[in-house]
């Protein structure tokens, strides 16, 4: 958590909150000291500057109630900080993406049972549509006038699109060296794509400053971060529901800020507490690219702190050198008997091609990282190949075409004649 965060940086304009605006959420609790605050546009503990997280008083929820809901994240609205009428506010209705059994990839890697949770099919082709939908609800309830984010790419796409649909002004900030497809994928939805000369950590720092100065700005992953983060829980809920209301034995999750991994873990715990799934151990693994692997480094070295790194990797959507939730990822992976591992950019590229050629799923560099780390964990014996495993594909390959454009391409360029085809000796 950045200590530059101003404790009064509660930028959204209005603090009078309507009844039921945040569903069954009861408080904001500090992850460090446990102090609680009322639900509001806050993200930093006033006692110790630790990050805040949402707690709930859940109603009794049944599998049948959830199954009767819409085929998107709002089927879990009772477990999210959103109002009961959330479906009626314009949003992109993300979620309920496919969970595919990956028999070919499993055979290739020597795993007994493997599933891919394919979040590349969300409205803007990454898992970020989930978190943005929850942040948008919070921004609306706080009366924010600008919907904004610092982003490594996918978040900007999701914020720009969701804001367009909701009719709220958007301003999205990205590092200027981002892939062209990701820039276009934001700029097509918003006039206010701002390229910042710096890396993500510079962009994030700028966003915190703006959030502290400007009224009415909801930065989804800064001042409404506690609400945004809860959206990632829906990945965990869906995986359990799609497995037939069971938890997997092992799961491999990419790590940028680390928020997604911590919330998938939280989701599994909540489902157990609510009696919706049986309790069982789930080993949680984190995946990073070596060029930005602060959490993996800390795991390997046995550190309790995450030392910031300067990112240099093709996995730009994971390129956060100073991850806000890094230490919580470390705790969870250690406690559950999982691990955090990293792979080189070449292995990231190979991971993209491996998933495409075995399962027909084109993932971006983040997914290449996750699949590549899965492979590495099998090779190092850190992952038990006899256990049921889930790997999350968080984004679409068309956004990072350049990563593999030198690796794949036409096997031959031939004249339009049968003889030329024969001569080309196509296997
Ligand atoms: C943002 C992102 C992640 C990681 O998200 P965190 O919650 O910040 O760890 C993973 N994959 C993709 C494609 C992303 O865009
Ligand atoms: Zn605190």
Q: What is the pLDDT of residues 71-108, one digit of tens each?
A: 999 999 999 999 999 999 999 999 999 999 999 999 99
Contact 82, 23 (CB under 8 A): yes
State what percent of residues in the chain have pLDDT above 90: 93
Tokens of 25: 């959420």
In a domain, 61, yes or no: no
In a domain, 371, yes or no: yes
- Ligand 1 pocket test, pick from 149, 252, 254, 325 with the greatest ligand atom count within 8 Å of Cβ, gives 254
CATH of the domain at 327: 3.40.50.1100
In a domain, 169, yes or no: no
In a domain, 298, yes or no: yes
Give the predicted TM-score (pTM) of the model. 0.95
In a domain, 29, yes or no: no
pLDDT confidence of residue 8: 42
Closest ligand to 294 CA?
Answer: 1
Distance separating alpha carbons of residues 370 and 364, to the nearest angstrom: 10
Among residues 11, 9, 5, which one has the least CA distance to residue 144? 11
- Ligand 1 pocket test, pick from 135, 316, 395 with the greatest ligand atom count within 8 Å of Cβ, gives 395
pLDDT confidence of residue 13: 45
Tokens of 407: 């690796």
Distance separating alpha carbons of residues 282 and 268, to the nearest angstrom: 9
Contact 117, 238 (CB under 8 A): yes
In a domain, 19, yes or no: no
CA of 253 to the centre of ligand 1 (A): 9
Q: What is the mean pLDDT of the chain?
A: 95
Closest ligand to 1 CA?
Answer: 2
Structural domain that includes position 105: 99-122+229-403
- pLDDT tens digit sequence for 9-21: 444 444 588 999 9
Contact 212, 11 (CB under 8 A): yes
Query: What's the number of domains the chain is made of?
Result: 1
Helix, strand, coil percent content, the chain, rounded in steps of 5 = 40, 15, 45
The parts of the chain modelled with pLDDT lower than 50 are 1-14
In a domain, 108, yes or no: yes
Distance of CA 145 to the CA centre of its chain: 25
Edge-first strand listing for the sheet containing 25-30: 36-38, 25-30, 52-56
In a domain, 365, yes or no: yes
Cα 239 to Cα 109, 201, 331, 393: the distances in Å are 21, 31, 22, 12
Strands 283-289, 52-56: parallel, antiparallel or unpaired by DSSP?
unpaired
């Amino acid at each position: 958590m950045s200590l530059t965060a101003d404790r009064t940086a509660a930028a959204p304009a209005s603090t009078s909150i309507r009844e039921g605006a945040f569903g069954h959420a009861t408080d904001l609790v500090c992850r460090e000291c446990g102090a609680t605050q009322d639900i509001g546009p806050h993200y930093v503990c006033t006692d110790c500057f630790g990050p805040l997280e949402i707690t709930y008083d859940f109603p009794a929820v049944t599998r049948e109630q959830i199954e009767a809901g819409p085929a998107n994240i709002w089927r879990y609205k009772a477990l999210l900080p959103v109002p009961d009428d959330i479906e009626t506010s314009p949003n992109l209705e993300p979620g309920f993406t496919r969970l595919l059994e990956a028999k070919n990839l499993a055979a290739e890697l020597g795993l007994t049972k493997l599933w891919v949770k394919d979040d590349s099919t969300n409205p803007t082709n990454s898992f970020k549509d989930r978190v943005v939908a929850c942040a948008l609800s919070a921004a609306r309830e706080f009366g924010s006038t600008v919907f904004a984010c610092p982003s490594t790419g996918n978040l900007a796409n999701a914020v720009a699109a969701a804001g367009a649909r909701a009719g709220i002004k958007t301003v999205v900030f990205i590092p200027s060296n981002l892939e062209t497809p990701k820039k276009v994928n934001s700029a097509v939805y918003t006039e206010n794509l701002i390229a910042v000369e710096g890396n993500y950590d510079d962009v994030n720092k700028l966003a915190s400053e703006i959030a502290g100065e400007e009224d009415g700005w909801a930065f989804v992953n800064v001042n409404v971060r506690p609400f945004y983060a809860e959206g990632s829980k829906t990945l965990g809920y869906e995986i359990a529901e799609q497995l037939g209301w069971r938890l997997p034995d092992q799961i491999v999750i990419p790590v940028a800020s680390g928020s997604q991994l911590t919330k998938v873990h939280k989701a599994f715990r909540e489902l157990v507490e609510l009696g919706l799934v049986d309790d069982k151990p789930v080993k949680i693994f984190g995946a990073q690219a070596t060029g930005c692997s602060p959490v993996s480094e800390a795991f390997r070295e046995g550190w309790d702190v995450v030392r910031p790194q300067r990112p240099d990797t093709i996995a730009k959507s994971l390129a956060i050198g100073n991850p806000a939730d890094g230490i919580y990822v470390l705790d969870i992976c250690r406690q559950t008997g999982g691990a955090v591992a990293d792979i080189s950019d070449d292995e990231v590229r190979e991971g993209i091609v491996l998933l495409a050629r075995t399962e027909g799923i084109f993932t971006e560099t983040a997914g290449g990282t996750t699949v590549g780390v899965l492979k590495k964990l099998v090779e190092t014996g850190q992952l038990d190949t006899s256990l049921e495993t889930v790997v999350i594909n968080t984004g679409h390959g068309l956004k990072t075409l350049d990563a593999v454009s030198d690796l794949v391409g036409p096997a031959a360029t031939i004249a339009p004649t049968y003889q030329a085809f024969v001569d080309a000796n196509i296997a």
